Amino acid sequence: DADVTQTPRNRITKTGKRIMLECSQTKGHDRMYWYRQDPGLGLRLIYYSFDVKDINKGEISDGYSVSRQAQAKFSLSLESAIPNQTALYFCATSDSGASASNEQFFGPGTRLTVL
């Protein structure tokens, strides 16, 4: 089974709709991240969290919100989707432990299309 899972894997929605993307991990990591990927722009950080009580904005947080429901769950919401939020979204995790090397492990991605 995958260590980092994302649901849904694909979603098509209409402008103005509220959308939630979910991420779960079984790696036991405390840090979780949401990125979006657009052709030619690479991976850009939306939000990150280093524990259940900590939420931080990334480079491009406008139009998005997040919830860290548990150490293993981190969800991303688009309150009112717009077409330029069409992208591939990735969740990632990393470990902050003393022996951790800080690499991030990614989920399989959610392809979101906003019409």
Partner 1 sequence: EDQVTQSPEALRLQEGESSSLNCSYTVSGLRGLFWYRQDPGKGPEFLFTLYSAGEEKEKERLKATLTKKESFLHITAPKPEDSATYLCAVPDRGSTLGRLYFGRGTQLTVWP
| Binding-site ranges for partner 1 (CB under 8 A) | 4, 31, 33, 40-43, 45, 48, 50, 56, 58, 88, 90, 92, 94, 96, 101-109, 111
Comparing C-alpha atoms, which of 93, 90, 87 is closest to residue 113? 87
Give CA–CA dist 6/75, Å, rounded: 9
Name the residue nearer to partner 1 (CB basis): 2 or 79: 2
State the nearest-atom distance from the C-beta of 13 to partner 1, in Å. Answer: 19
Name the residue nearer to partner 1 (CB basis): 65 or 106: 106
State the nearest-atom distance from the C-beta of 46 to partner 1, in Å. Answer: 12
Beta strands in 1-115 (DSSP E): 4-7, 10-13, 19-25, 31-38, 42-51, 54-57, 65-70, 73-78, 87-94, 105-106, 110-114
State the nearest-atom distance from the C-beta of 16 to partner 1, in Å. Answer: 27
State the nearest-atom distance from the C-beta of 51 to partner 1, in Å. Answer: 10
Name the residue nearer to partner 1 (CB basis): 33 or 79: 33
Name the residue nearer to partner 1 (CB basis): 73 or 111: 111
Backbone region of residue 42 per phi and psi (left: phi > 0; alpha: psi in -120 to 50; beta: other values): left
